[in-house]
């Protein structure tokens, strides 16, 4: 017996609301990938804002792609 994603939705919504301070509406507007990225951030990530240099590199990469 395997569980479908929909079987875990109520629990996932509760987790997103309590751990991420998301509203239920924010949960329902997110994709499964966005939820996974929010819950499982790499340990190297910090809460510091990116530097101007990092932002400029991201803009260059976006404009090239």
Per DSSP, the three-state class of 25 is: helix
C-alpha torsion 62→27→17→14, nearest 10:
-130
> Average pLDDT, stretch 17-44?
84
Which pLDDT score is estimated for 29?
A: 92
pLDDT score at 53: 84
CA atoms of 13 and 17, how far apart (whole Å): 6
Beta strands of the chain (E only): which ranges? none
pLDDT of residue 41: 67
CA distance 38 to 13: 13
pLDDT in tens, 40-62: 866 555 667 777 887 888 777 77
Confidence of residue 25 (pLDDT cuts 50, 70, 90): very high
The whole model's pTM is what? 0.53
Query: Which ranges constitute the DSSP H helices of the chain?
Result: 9-19, 24-29, 32-39, 52-64
């Amino acid at each position: 017996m395997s569980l479908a994603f929909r079987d875990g939705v109520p629990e996932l919504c509760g987790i997103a609301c309590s751990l991420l301070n998301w509203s239920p509406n924010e949960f329902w507007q997110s994709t499964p990938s966005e939820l996974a990225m929010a819950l499982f951030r790499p340990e190297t990530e910090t809460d510091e804002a990116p530097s101007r240099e990092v932002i400029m590199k991201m803009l260059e990469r976006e404009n090239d792609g």
